[in-house]
Amino acid sequence: MPVLGIDIGGTSIKGSLVNSLGECKENFVMPINPNLSQEETIEELLDVIDKYLQANLNGESLDGIGMGIPGSLDTEKGIVTFSNNLKWEDLKIVDLFKKRYKTPIKITNDANAAALGEARFGAGKEFKNMVMITLGTGVGSGIVIDGKLFEGYLGKGAELGHTTLVLDGLSCSCGRRGCFEMYASATALIRQTKEKMSICPDSLMHQISNELGKVDGRVAFMAAKKGDKAANEVVDQYVKYLSEGILNICNALRPECVVLSGGIAKEGSYLTDKVLNYCKLQDFGYPYSPSLVIKIAELGYQSGIVGAASLLL
């Protein structure tokens, strides 16, 4: 009685059958052809799925199809309202799927799907209330309350990356200023690293980035661990931004657990120890509050597929 989980990304679509334990079969992967219309892309996807199910369903019945999609959705009506990355607009994706498959079909935002996957089968599985923050190109977020995805009215909430942390701060692509995303994403850390490097020509960060061939989100952390002063300043400032955003999430939503994912989360306990230390010094605003639990995501790149399937598991 498996469910098909589909993770739609900017350049490819991945999917797998997922069983009730959150276990996947082998994935299918379909590159997105940018020359096709949105409807043609879905037709191609449906053909790929047909073949995948024929090869993998082994006579079992399909219990549903769940999809994680980047962009703004109307999850109730099953419509991709607008996806900036995919250039999809007003795409009635659930209706197109229903013409082919007589099974329950649900969609959610890709960050929400990943959060649900981690909540059910990954780092958050011991907790009923969990928030996942993805520190990547932007800051994605997903909120799970009482074991269920919380998406806000018409699926338009849970955009914690687009809450203002710095009034009148840096301009964000969303139209606001000073969004959490502008200070805590991997993109932001790279900007902060480059800024510090430009005024600290002797920093170890120059040597490390030369060896890596680029300045990425690892440079400041690598140099900081070796005692570089400028790098430690970058890391401490980044930890402050991230921690203030996490404290906001805690005071607003008070989850039992905050799960970090994305490139920066690979720093593991080196990062989470610093965040916990910062948050402790802030006393959380509420000395009687439960202790903050921060974990690193466990499912990796499969979280989107498992989470999309979890919409129907």
Binding region for its own copies (CB under 8 A): 72, 81-82, 129, 145, 150-154, 156-160, 162-167, 169, 172, 174-176, 178-179, 241, 244, 247-248, 250-256, 282-290
C-alpha closest to that of 217 among 199, 205, 204, 203? 205
Given the complex with its own copies, which of 128 and 266 has the nearer CB atom?
Answer: 128
Cα–Cα separations (whole angstroms), residue 201 to 139, 266, 293: 30, 27, 38
Could you tell me if 97 and 52 are in contact, meaning their C-beta atoms sit under 8 angstroms apart?
A: no
CB of 171 to its own copies, least distance (A): 12
Given the complex with its own copies, which of 163 and 232 has the nearer CB atom?
Answer: 163
Given the complex with its own copies, which of 13 and 246 has the nearer CB atom?
Answer: 246
CB of 216 to its own copies, least distance (A): 25
Phi-psi region of 262 (alpha: psi -120 to 50; beta: other; left: phi over 0): left
Given the complex with its own copies, which of 16 and 243 has the nearer CB atom?
Answer: 243
Kindly provide the b/e burial profile for residues 248-277, where b requires at least 16 CB atoms within 10 angstroms of the residue's own CB: ebbeebebebbbbbbbbbbbeeebbebbbe
CB of 292 to its own copies, least distance (A): 10
Given the complex with its own copies, which of 103 and 137 has the nearer CB atom?
Answer: 137
Given the complex with its own copies, which of 27 and 237 has the nearer CB atom?
Answer: 237
Given the complex with its own copies, which of 12 and 289 has the nearer CB atom?
Answer: 289
CB of 29 to its own copies, least distance (A): 29
Query: Token pair for residue 19?
Result: 């069983």
| Order of all β-strands in the sheet with 130-135 | 148-150, 139-145, 130-135, 257-261, 294-296
CB of 140 to its own copies, least distance (A): 13
CB of 169 to its own copies, least distance (A): 8
Cα–Cα separations (whole angstroms), residue 13 to 5, 35, 196: 11, 15, 38
Sign of CA dihedral 177, 181, 183, 187: negative
CB of 148 to its own copies, least distance (A): 10
Q: Is 33 helix (H, G, I), strand (E, B) or coil?
A: coil
Rg (CA), the chain: 20
Distance CA 177, CA 206 (A): 30
